[in-house]
Amino acid sequence: MRLFLAFPELTDRVEAFIYSELGLKEFKGVPVLDPAEAEWAAVADSELYYITGSRTPQSSRDVEEKLRAFGQPKERLHPAAQLLYEYLSLWEPVAYRPRSVRVEASTLCQLNCAGCYMRLDHSGTTGRGNLSFAAFRKLLDENPGIRAVELSNSGEVFLNPQLHEILQLAYERGIMITLINGVNFNDVPDRVLEDLVRCRVETVWVSIDGATQKTYGEYRRNGSLEKVLNNIRKLNVLKERYHTDRPELVWKYVIMQHNQDEVGQAAEMAEALGMKRSYTLDWRGGVTAKDPETLYRITGLQCFNVDEYLAEEQHRFNSDFYCGQMIIDPQINWDGRLLGCCTVYRSDWKTNVFETPLEEIYNNSHYRAAVLALLSGEDRYSFEGPCGTCEVYRANVRQLHYRLQL
């Protein structure tokens, strides 16, 4: 529903939503149907808009198949992204109310990960720096609709020396903080560990690609698995002391050739530490699985290689997630420059969110043209900006005419 919160005028055009998360029954007076249990007779003549999941994206194909099994004609089923495309195509100013943003807390990092694009490319054009407390407060003051901020991206959040103040302010203002893009969690001051619990940070995804130091350290060079596990144990003690289940902890595992044998052992360790698990493909290529059945069973992934994924799904791995950020929760560099999505590090949209309101930026013709191209899968829009030189854009829009799902 984040799309409809960000673009409030869209809801006026919807007769019924199809959405299976959060147990919602209605949204702003519009019925919300779970495809597994819907009373279809009640919406027999409605146009139905479906929204796919955000963290575990279901493809539109899955949703359409499920709905057709209930006898719903395909003609009445529309992806929510299509509605937004129609709205933006009018080329009138649109009402955009940013509810969630992504702001890089720090581009610094103490590790030297083997495939890290930041280290390989000397931080691109993002520069090495930290989000300041003053800039964070200004952002919240000038965009009072913001209710959620993702702080992790290309660097290590915990190297920001003002993180304590940032977390405290977010807590006082009721802003949900997430660290989903990932943290290495090697060096976390005790005071900040306690802040994560005391300030009710929603979730922390810890990048741990192995169950032994040897395997972990092969990719996370300079990293210490024991330090990471120790910090997790300390956090769990604090959660008990505060009687809270927040932050939710997630063990994030990139499947690589050298670590595929430790997936099972790592899953057991995650279980023992009370962590959920998330698996992702190596952006540099992927894995030739030695034991595909076991890997499928443990990870739930359908394939282990980005090229296989592209051939099977006809779009780049994770591209809905990345490009969706540009539309709903844009990525902002630590110094305020608008990046659009979390993959961008070698250019930006030549505008600063700490100086210009996001709504104004959204109505900027270049940014909007790129959004329209992503939503339509058509390469007829002209714009200058990071998407134009992006491999995802090239594969999805230029070659496959893939329409973004939200």
Contacts with ligand SF4, residue ranges (CB under 6 A)? 322-323, 326, 340-341, 343-344, 386-387, 390, 392-393
75-106 in b/e form (b: 16+ CB < 10 A) is ebbbbbbbbbbebbeeeeebebebbbbbbbbb
Cβ-based nearer residue to ligand SF4, 246 or 394? 394
Q: In the complex, what is the shortest distance from the CB of residue 172 to ligand SF4, in angstroms, rounded to a whole number?
A: 32
Q: In the complex, what is the shortest distance from the CB of residue 331 to ligand SF4, in angstroms, rounded to a whole number?
A: 8
360 Cβ contact list (under 8 Å, min separation 6): none
Q: In the complex, what is the shortest distance from the CB of residue 342 to ligand SF4, in angstroms, rounded to a whole number?
A: 8
Cβ-based nearer residue to ligand SF4, 82 or 230? 82
Q: In the complex, what is the shortest distance from the CB of residue 322 to ligand SF4, in angstroms, rounded to a whole number?
A: 4
Cβ-based nearer residue to ligand SF4, 208 or 342? 342
Cβ-based nearer residue to ligand SF4, 206 or 371? 371
Cβ-based nearer residue to ligand SF4, 266 or 344? 344
Q: In the complex, what is the shortest distance from the CB of residue 182 to ligand SF4, in angstroms, rounded to a whole number?
A: 17
Amino acid at position 364, single letter: N
Contact assessment for residue 63 and residue 49, using Cβ atoms and an 8 Å cutoff: no
Structural tokens at position 312: 């099977």
Q: What is the DSSP letter of 352?
A: B
124-145 in b/e form (b: 16+ CB < 10 A) is bebeebbbbbebbeebbeebee
Q: In the complex, what is the shortest distance from the CB of residue 300 to ligand SF4, in angstroms, rounded to a whole number?
A: 23
Cβ-based nearer residue to ligand SF4, 103 or 390? 390
Sign of CA dihedral 349, 354, 356, 357: positive
Query: Which residue has its beta carbon closest to ligand SF4?
Result: 390
CB atoms within 10 A of CB 204: 25
**221, containing H or E segment:** none
